[in-house]
């Protein structure tokens, strides 16, 4: 029975194409990463993590970026600063945040 459950889980993961999912939170900026592996493209979804007075939250989308590899991010005034590197050099992406936020 345990083997059957493991097998069904394995088939579901294989069919869905999702090989890795991760998330990070820095202040009220939340990043959800989906790595589909060899089957498709990988993306990072940046959002504001907005909480209401009852403690529930919703994600307010900011941007969807192609795979960055290893990265770090922080908010500086009205900019989202994303630092990442590839084989050749380090890069910094800046996203303007004035049009986004929690209401």
pLDDT at residue number 18:
44
Residue 44 phi/psi, 5-degree rounding, is -115, 130
Token code pair at residue 1: 């029975």
What value does the mean pLDDT take over residues 32-60? 83
Q: In the chain, what percentage of residues exceed pLDDT 90?
A: 13
pLDDT in tens, 57-92: 888 899 999 888 888 888 888 889 999 988 888 889
Taking the whole predicted model, whether its pTM rises above 0.85 is answered as no
- Helical residues (DSSP H) of the chain, grouped into ranges: 2-16
* 64 contacts 45 by C-beta, under 8 angstroms: yes
Q: What is the mean pLDDT of the chain?
A: 77
Token code pair at residue 50: 């907005």
């Amino acid at each position: 029975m345990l083997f059957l459950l493991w097998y069904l889980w394995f088939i579901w993961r294989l069919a869905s194409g999702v090989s890795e999912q991760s998330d990070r939170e820095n202040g009220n900026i939340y990043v959800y990463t989906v790595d589909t592996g060899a089957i498709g493209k990988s993306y990072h979804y940046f959002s504001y993590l907005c909480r209401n007075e009852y403690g529930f939250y919703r994600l307010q989308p900011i941007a969807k970026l192609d795979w960055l590899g290893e990265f770090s991010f922080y908010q500086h005034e009205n900019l989202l600063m994303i630092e990442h590197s590839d084989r050749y050099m380090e890069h910094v992406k800046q996203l303007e945040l004035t049009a986004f936020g929690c209401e």
